[in-house]
Structure 1
Amino acid sequence: MKLFTTDKEEAIVRKLSRGDATAIDLLYATYAPHLTAVCARYIPRKDDMEDVLQEAFIKMFSNASGFNYRGKGSLKAWATRIVINESLLFLRRIATSGMVFTDKDLPDQTDETPDVSTLNAEEITAMIGRLPPGYRMVFNLYVVEGMSHQQISELLGIKVDTSASQLHKAKAMLARMIKEHRKQQEQRV
């Protein structure tokens, strides 16, 4: 048993605050897989995702001196927030002429929750990635990040009702995708 143990995050933070060059490598090695997965939920195209991640890591490294360590998990949460913000910034930049938020009507949907137990994480992520950008942003912020519609409306500059509508439509679209996926699976058997 070690006498002086520290968590990995705290060690990275100390190195970052001292300007130790190895901290950058440690931060990347520790969180790149998680942050890539977070970014992929918002940015489905691989090239765009890599660009957004690069920008996010540059922001992390250049703002590391201002990071205030608050205990285990705070560095990961800080890095995750930067990736989400960079993803949203990217989506806002490419969203011209109202392409991000669409109010097109969807076919009627049942209110039953689809069974996702037969899907793996990659399949679910791929389906989320096929959602229109506005649906995908609201879905991720509400379902994955746990934000309220009020918080989403403030962050994205949309109405609370628009956030709720986008979430409803995203869930309906995902339910259709899951149903179609299940049909395809049954046809293969």
Structure 2
Amino acid sequence: MEEQELADRCRQGDNLARKMLYEQYAGQLLGTCIRYTGDREIAQDMLHDGFLKIFDSFDKFTYRGIGSLKAWMERIMINIILQNLRKSDVMKQALPLETSPEAYDEPDAGTIETIPAKVLMQFISELPVGYRTVFNLYVIEEKSHKEIAQLLGINEKSSASQLARAKAALATKIREWMKLNI
């Protein structure tokens, strides 16, 4: 079944279509949830909440071509996760400055390409939640610091600082991995 037909049938409350939608996209969306939460159990809770929101929101979905359904659902998932982070006020909890330097030697792109994607995703999942969230929004979702600040209820300088610290932490993990594996 094509995306548009699947979306139309979900909008009409067709439970078979909803099941098909879940089966087709749950794995990918769970990956998105894990990338933000760093914890599989929490990610599964967010996935559940996200699908409930998706099923309730089909009247707001407009098909814009192949991939638009997945992109729309991904935005909903990310918004559910960010809402949860704002509620728990986790973005205001920072590590002491001395444990996370902003200055670092960035590994070259060729070095990073030799590291399996699964290892890189593990490194990202191990970041403190604020760093991980800003990193995901900036690097993967391509949001500006201004947009991130608005989404998370923090200021732009805090977003930039958390991104720099995330990159520094990742650079350290990459260097350590390279010493052991190359």
| Alignment TM-score, normalising by the size of structure 1 | 0.86
1:149 aligns with 2:145: yes
Deviations 1:144-170 (CA, angstroms, capped at 9, x unpaired): 001111111111111111111111111
1:50 aligns with 2:40: no
Match of 2:104?
109
Whichever residue aligns with residue 171 of structure 1, its letter is: K
Whichever residue aligns with residue 62 of structure 1, its letter is: D
Q: Is the 8 A contact 2:90 2:129 kept in 1?
A: no
Q: Structure 1: which 5+ runs fail to align?
A: 1-6
Mapped partners of 1:185, 1:155: distance in 2: 38
Deviations 1:11-65 (CA, angstroms, capped at 9, x unpaired): 2112112221111112112211211111111011111111111000111011122
Mapped partners of 1:36, 1:132: distance in 2: 19
1:10 is aligned, of 4, 7, 29, to 4
1:129 aligns with 2:122: no
Asked which structure has the greater RCO (Cα within 8 Å, sep 6+), the reply is 2
Q: Which has the larger displacement, 126-135 or 27-36?
A: 27-36
Q: Is the 8 A contact 1:52 1:86 kept in 2?
A: yes
Q: Is the 8 A contact 1:113 1:175 kept in 2?
A: no
Q: Structure 2: which 5+ runs fail to align?
A: none
Match of 1:4?
none
Mapped partners of 2:90, 2:32: distance in 1: 24
Change (3 A) 1:92 1:113: farther
1:168 is aligned, of 164, 171, 176, to 164
2:68 is aligned, of 68, 74, 81, to 74
Identity %, equivalent residues: 39
Change (3 A) 1:141 1:96: closer
Q: Tell me by how many angstroms 1:96 deviates.
A: 5.2
| Alignment TM-score, normalising by the size of structure 2 | 0.90
* Structure in which a larger fraction of residues adopt helix: 2
Please tell me whether Structure 1 or Structure 2 has the larger radius of gyration of its CA atoms. Answer: 1
Q: Tell me by how many angstroms 1:110 deviates.
A: 2.0
1:25 is aligned, of 19, 22, 32, to 19
Aligned length: 179
RMSD of aligned C-alpha atoms? Answer: 1.9
Q: Tell me by how many angstroms 1:177 deviates.
A: 0.5
